[in-house]
Structure 1
């Protein structure tokens, strides 16, 4: 499956009043190689194994494969991950006909807030809320796999 998404910095916490759902996410990487990342994630009470391919030239599209696994398996696999864990709260916010996933990072990446919106095509139009800041889709520093090795607090 091809994932198409755009990433933006977030200017304020104004999105919080419109959040319809929030979950803590803890994730690590079995492989943070940009050609193929392999991620283990615990989101709420569920575990996931995700493989992502390399992004295209625009940074918007890449292959993504994800399967739900037991939380017990996810907890065990997190122990095998490379050094560096991502810990964040994800808030889902409906804006127009799209759902923005707004990640408020904790621990080593505290202070960073990124919003992502998934699209059906790279040229799909979407409403931009006032709290949306600069686009960082093509900036690999904002990939979670990068942040796990190069925390925001060290920039």
Structure 2
């Protein structure tokens, strides 16, 4: 599936989001390519595999091209072994709020302690309701891109 991904990212100020979550799923992901112009991601989400290609972000860091397709769990597992940098492990929580759903990622391993929320939008200046556990906005800060966290983990900052 191909589309423009428009999202904003935030740090999370408290763990009260867990009480509001309607689902949670374990994600393991790695990157076959982390070039700034294009990243190629392999992801295992629950018991499904996915391959995604993402393009360059715009100036604000909110919008970029994304293409993703489902692959077999076996293919994803084999591709994870070929990834560069560290493999990211996280628990993703989904929290619906108003017309939007926030995805909160609690990272493990070398990124333990990092908890980030993102919300997908239909356009860059779309207004959305902000939950009380939402912290500082980090949209466009390349250090918080998953591809960068695989090369420069949060615990090394």
User: What is the alpha-carbon root mean square deviation over aligned residues?
Assistant: 0.5
CA apart distance, 1:99: 0.3
> TM-score normalised to the size of structure 2?
0.98
Corresponding residue for residue 48 of structure 2: 46
Matched, 1:97 2:99: yes
Secondary structure at 2:86 match in 1: coil
Corresponding residue for residue 145 of structure 1: 147
Distance 1:121 1:110 in 2: 32
Distance 1:83 1:149 in 2: 5
> TM-score normalised to the size of structure 1?
0.99
Distance 2:86 2:37 in 1: 19
Structure 2 residue runs of 5 or longer lacking an equivalent are none
Distance 2:106 2:113 in 1: 8
Distance 1:10 1:83 in 2: 25
Distance 2:111 2:155 in 1: 6
Runs of 4 or more, structure 1, over 4 Å off, are none
Corresponding residue for residue 8 of structure 1: 10
Number of equivalent positions: 155
Secondary structure at 1:85 match in 2: strand
Corresponding residue for residue 66 of structure 1: 68
Corresponding residue for residue 25 of structure 1: 27
Distance 2:6 2:140 in 1: 12
Distance 1:138 1:65 in 2: 20
Indicate which of 107, 116, 134 corresponds to 2:136. Answer: 134
Distance 2:90 2:36 in 1: 21
